[in-house]
A = this chain, B = another copy of it.
C-alpha cells in the first residue's frame, strides 16, 4: 500500500520540459503584442492556483467572461479518447443550442483526460463554480483543460481559485496577456492577437475580435494540447457562428502541423456577445443558398484571424527552427490539394531536410506521390512542378518543372534555406483550365521542421 502510494506520488510529480522560469526567448518577443483593441463587454483574468504542485507562482487558470450572454460555437478534437472538458463543453453547447454562454474557464497543467466519471464531475464543477460567481443559472460556461493525461485535477485548488479569478476580471491589454499566458504549458510565449473589422451592413460601425491559443506539440509525458478561444463583440447567430468557425478552423488550426499528433483535448471556441450593436449575422438558409454580405465578410475576417493565430502555434513548435508554408496549387478539388499539403507537412524526411537546409525536392515529390485520400487523376507526374518561394519576393527557385528535374542553383537554394521562413509550392498543373493552361483549387498548410531539439524535448530524459 505504501509502495503503491509512493509510485502514485512519483507519477504525479512529472514535470514539464519547458523552462521553469517561463522566460520568453528573445527570438519570440516579437510575436507578443504590446497593445491591443479588445471586444467590448468581455472581461478576462489569469490567476495562479498551482494545478501542478511545482508551479508556485505562474498563472494557470484562465477565465474569459462576457457581461452579457453570448452566441457560442466550438470545434473539438476528433480523437476517440475525448477528455472530460471536451465532453462537458460539447454537451453544454448542445443543450443550450449555442446560446446564453457567459464564460470559458481553462486550467493548464492537467488535461483531465482519461479520468473516468470523477473527471467528468470535476469538469462540470469547474463550469458551475464560474456560473455561481457570475450569478447566472444553468450551465453557461465552457470548460477546457490542457496538460498531463491520465491524472485527476486538483479540483479543490481550482474551485477555491475561481472566486479570485472572477474578482480579477478586467478588460485591459495586460489582463488579456496574463490570461493568454495562463493557458500556456510548454509554450515558450503567450499567443494573443486582436483586431478590428467592419461589416457591409454598417460600414461606420467598428467591431472587435480577440483570440488566444496555446500548444507547442503534444508534449511531456502525456500532454493534451491545442486550445483556442476567440471573442467578438459582433452579433452572430449560433448557427452562423458554428459554420463560420468550422470553415475558419479547417483553413487554420486544422491546417497546421507540428508533429501530426492530435490530442484528446484539442478545442477551439468562439464567443460573440453583440456588445458592439448592429444587425445579427445570420447563416445562409441552406448550404446552396447565397450567404449574406455580412456573413461572407465575417467569414473572411474570422478565417484570416484564425490563420494568424494558429500560425503562432507553428512559430512555437517544439524545437522548430523553420516556419514553412506549403501551397498546393491547381488541383481539381480542394480535398486532394489539402491531403497532399498535409502529407508533406507531416513527412519526417521533408521536415529533417528543412532542418538540415537541404533542397530535397525528391522527398517532397515522394510525399506528393504517396499522399492518401487524393482523387484519381489529380497527381500526374508529367505536369507536376515544385518550387521554393523565397520570403523576400525574389523569383521562385524551380526544382521540378512538369515532372522534369531542374538543374538546381545550390548556392541560391542554400541561401533561401538560411531564412526562418520558406514557402514550398507544388503546382499540380490541373483543375479547370484558364488562360494560362491551369486553374483550380489551392490548399495551404503551415508547419515547422524536425530538429535535434524536438527529439530532446520529446525524448523526455527523466533520468
Residues of A within 8 A of B (CB): 4, 7-8, 10-11, 77-82, 113-114, 116, 148-151, 217-219, 221-224, 259-264, 346-349, 352-353, 355-358, 360-363, 365-370, 379, 381, 384, 400, 403-405, 407-410, 414, 450-452, 454-456, 458-463
Residues of B within 8 A of A379 (CB): 80
Give the residue name and chain of the B residue nearest to A7 (CB). Answer: B407
User: Among the listed B352, B357, B361, which residue makes an inter-chain contact with A458, where contact means beta carbons less than 8 Å apart?
Assistant: B352
What distance in Å separates the Cβ of A276 from its nearest Cβ neighbour in chain B?
38
Q: Give Cα A72–Cα B346 distance, bound, in whole angstroms.
A: 36
Contact A260 B459 (CB under 8 A): no
Inter-chain contact B8/A407, CB cutoff 8 Å: yes
Query: A356 near B81 (CB under 8 angstroms)?
Result: no
Contact, CB under 8 Å: B150 / A358: no
Q: Is the CB of B7 within 8 A of A79?
A: no
Partner of A362, one of B222, B408, B410: B222
Quote the shortest CB–CB distance from A321 to chain B (angstroms): 10
The interface residues of chain B lying within 8 Å CB-to-CB of A461 are 356
- The smallest C-beta distance from A205 to any residue of chain B, in angstroms, reads 42
Bound Cα distance A217, B350 (Å): 12
Residues of B within 8 A of A381 (CB): 80-82, 114
Min CB gap A44→B, angstroms: 30
8 smallest CB-CB distances across A and B, nearest first, come from A222-B362, A356-B459, A352-B458, A149-B362, A79-B369, A262-B370, A81-B369, A150-B405
Q: In the complex, A89→B347 CA distance in Å?
A: 28
Return A283 CB to nearest CB of chain B, in Å: 28
A225 (CB) vs chain B CBs: closest residue = B366
Docked Cα-Cα span, A261 to B347, in Å, equals 7
Q: Check if A410 sits within 8 Å of B7, measured CB to CB.
A: yes
Residues of the B chain whose Cβ atoms lie less than 8 Å from the Cβ of A355: 455, 459
Pair A451/B462 contact, Cβ less than 8 Å: no
With A261-B349, A347-B261, A356-B458 already in contact, the answer to whether A404 and B366 are too (CB < 8 A) is: no
With CB as the reference atom, state the residue of chain B lying closest to A115: B405
Q: Are A366 and B11 in contact (CB under 8 A)?
A: no
Given contacts A148-B362, A224-B366, A261-B367, 16 further A-B contacts (CB under 8 A): A10-B410, A80-B381, A81-B381, A81-B384, A114-B362, A149-B366, A219-B349, A221-B353, A221-B363, A222-B361, A222-B366, A259-B348, A352-B455, A357-B463, A358-B462, A452-B452
